[in-house]
A = this chain, B = another copy of it.
Amino acid sequence: MRRGYATGEARKERILAVALLEFAEHGYRGASLARIAARVELSQAGLLHHFRSKERLLVAVLDYRDELDRRRFGPGHDGHDGGAAALRALADVVDHNARVPGLVQLFSVISGEAVTPGHPGHEWARGRYRRLRADVAAALRAGVERGEFRAGLDAEAHADRLIAMMDGLQTQWLIDPGQVDMAAVFRGYVEDLIAALRPA
């Protein structure tokens, strides 16, 4: 029983990893369930036994990627609890992303497509933004409470800016990797922001 469970989980994770590469390479619309099934040595019916539909597989892949990021950099990572340390942890995420262009490409293709209402990633993308904005805004407020940041800052607007900067730099870097050092540019932004938000 225990062993069957572990094998089932391991197989699911392997399917997610393979599907992630397929979506990253071909986008949601161009991705092929047949190719994914073949690579994990399952029939299409066997694959659909685990993930019901292409849409559900996509959402599972996106959740899987978020989960990996959270394990690596989420609240509690490095023991930070908000403030400047949390903003620097975001810069660590970007450092990490600069080493995994395939994953970043998936995210960029899906986010691009997901702006179209009705796209299966739309709800996921909306939920992700709201969660991320809430987390970053909370980190900024924690910094205000500890006196690292000035009172009265607009936490939501700064959260929107930080997330936009990460996403926009990713796009530039994917399109023209040799021209944009996204990790350095983002870290520069974070350090300028920490300095600008310091109490007078």
Residues of B within 8 A of A196 (CB): 192, 196
Contacting pair B126 A176 (CB below 8 A):
yes
10 additional A-B residue pairs with CB within 8 Å, beyond A111-B171, A115-B175, A154-B188: A109-B115, A109-B116, A110-B112, A126-B175, A126-B176, A129-B179, A157-B184, A165-B168, A168-B171, A196-B196
Report chain B residues within 8 Å CB of A52: none
A residues at B contact (CB < 8 Å)? 25-27, 29-30, 105, 108-116, 122, 125-126, 129-130, 133, 154, 157, 160-161, 163-169, 171-172, 174-176, 179-180, 184-185, 188-189, 192, 196
Complex Cα spacing A154 to B125, Å: 33
Interchain Cβ contacts under 8 Å between A and B, 18 examples:
A25-B116, A26-B116, A27-B116, A105-B115, A105-B116, A109-B113, A111-B175, A112-B115, A125-B175, A129-B175, A160-B185, A161-B169, A161-B185, A163-B168, A164-B172, A165-B168, A168-B169, A168-B171
B residues within 8 A CB of A133? 179
Q: Enumerate the 7 nearest inter-chain pairs by beta-carbon distance, A residue then B residue, closest first.
A: A112-B112, A164-B168, A168-B168, A115-B174, A167-B168, A164-B169, A108-B115
**Which listed residue, B110, B112, B130, touches A111 by the CB 8 Å rule?**
B112
